[in-house]
Structure 1
Amino acid sequence: MTITDAHRATAWQVQSLLMGYPDEQLLGRFPLLRAVTRTLPTALAEPLTAFLDHAETTALTELAAAYVATFDHRRRFSPYLTYFAYGDTRKRGMALLRFKHAYRTAGLELDGTSDGAELPDHLAVVLEFAATGDLAVGQRLLIEHRAGLELMRLGLHEAGSPWARVLDSVSATLPPLGRREHEKVARLAAEGPPEEEVGLAPFPPSGGLP
């Protein structure tokens, strides 16, 4: 089955929810997410089904603890896309503004002051924007940060994380990696994000990643 823009939008919406913190509300949506996933091409659906199979047979407290340990405590798996490209340097602030501008142009405004509000480059936020805001712009943002996405995907697989399957599905919505993209991933794995004289701790080693 050919992957259409409608398939991508649907997949991004499901992926966005699964990349958020797992709570009772998400648990209640699993039957709907599974039903929607069945309408997608195999390359997008199979990884999402595998994650849902795991999530539905795992205690919510255990799943939530794994999410925090993976995404909140390990920079290597940071869900904030600009971190991979800019680290904690001053340039990252400008990159965040670009995300905000893209959302604002599409008529969306993030409330960065509310409790629990995510930064605009959080993968779940970007996926939701791509699904419901502006598909073309959202896809471009994902492609621009493809090296970070791919590094996170490979690292999650290496760590045996169930969220690796969600990243597999995200990757399947994007064009295949070319030689230049593979080189960017390898360079990022070897060198880590850029650093600045602001006390940034060294990027954790990437183990066996390319």
Structure 2
Amino acid sequence: MRRRPAAKDAGPAAAYPAAVLHQAAARLLAFPDEALHTDLELLRAALPEAGGPGALLAPLAAHLAGGEPTALAADYVRVFDLTGRHCLHLTWWTDGDTRRRGTALLRFQQTYRARGFALRDGELPDFLPAVLEFCAATRDDTLLREHRPALELLRLALEESGTPYAAALRAVCAALPGASPADRAQALAMARGGPPHEDVGLSPYGHLRLLPVLTAGPAAGPAAHGTEIRR
């Protein structure tokens, strides 16, 4: 995602303590390439500015800082590409392979455009690192609050797998108002509390193979996982 040069600022950004948290979580959920390794020292130094939720990111940042690059890259692919239970596209969790998902993606795009951001070709607007960077840049967490059920389902799935990446979702969810659901049943009940869903083809974890950004094709591979917002 990029910032449109012609976009007009609405004025000074309101105080938004979660901006550091969201920016840090976006970077830590990106593919662990050389650019991320370069940023890690600065990122870890900034985490105290994010308050309590920021401290939850420290174990993941330490894990990435201490890991061997090839092993970290392979682990990222294993966690996010080789299973349908850890999808980083938010609408996949609540809309699955349904026509309703197209409408949800369009709402993301309209929200970005209204604030002067545009997607690069081939990007899906609900990719969590991009959403987090947008929230950090605009000092507005509305998209995260609107998709809280998806975030909680992803958090629970990552926690069940034992991956260090679960820390990123714990931190993001901890910064949102209200308590997180304790288990998947409560998270699914939270999801059902939203607009009615089209049920055909929908399951709690969807089907990862239906997401071209994460499967074989032009958008596949490490480049598809980089941080998506650029100014």
Quickly name the TM-score band, shorter chain normalised. 0.7 to 0.9
1:72 & 1:195 partners in 2: Cα distance? 25
1:34 Cα shift?
Answer: 0.7
Match of 1:77 in 2: 86
> Structure 1 or 2: larger helix share?
1
1:88 aligns with 2:97: yes
Choose which of 146, 149, 156 in structure 1 pairs with 2:148. Answer: 146
SS state at 1:40 partner: helix
Choose which of 134, 156, 162 in structure 2 pairs with 1:129. Answer: 134
Percent identity of paired positions between Structure 1 and Structure 2: 39
1:186 Cα shift?
Answer: 3.7
> What is the CA RMSD across the aligned residues, in angstroms?
2.7
Match of 1:120 in 2: 125
TM superposition score normalised by structure 1: 0.80
2:95 & 2:186 partners in 1: Cα distance? 13
Choose which of 40, 59, 65 in structure 2 pairs with 1:50. Answer: 59
State the number of aligned residues. Answer: 187
Change over 3 Å in CA distance of 1:188–1:172 after alignment to 2: closer
1:187 & 1:9 partners in 2: Cα distance? 29
Match of 2:171 in 1: 169
1:15 Cα shift?
Answer: 0.7
Choose which of 17, 31, 40 in structure 2 pairs with 1:21. Answer: 31
Conserved 8 A contact 1:147-1:184 = no
1:71 & 1:188 partners in 2: Cα distance? 24
SS state at 2:179 partner: coil
Give structure 2 stretches of 5+ with no counterpart: 1-13, 192-196, 207-231
Conserved 8 A contact 1:85-1:194 = no
Change over 3 Å in CA distance of 1:195–1:186 after alignment to 2: closer
Match of 1:9 in 2: 19
TM superposition score normalised by structure 2: 0.73
Match of 1:160 in 2: 162
Give structure 1 stretches of 5+ with no counterpart: 205-210
Conserved 8 A contact 2:93-2:204 = no
Structure of higher RCO (CA pairs closer than 8 Å, 6+ residues apart) = 2
Conserved 8 A contact 1:89-1:194 = yes
1:8 & 1:187 partners in 2: Cα distance? 26
Change over 3 Å in CA distance of 1:112–1:103 after alignment to 2: same
Paired residue type of 2:125: P
1:6 Cα shift?
Answer: 3.0
Q: 1:156-200, CA deviations, whole angstroms, 9 ceiling, x for partnerless residues?
A: 111111111111110121012378x986514489xxx96536xx7
Q: Which moved more, 1:70-79 or 1:157-166?
A: 70-79
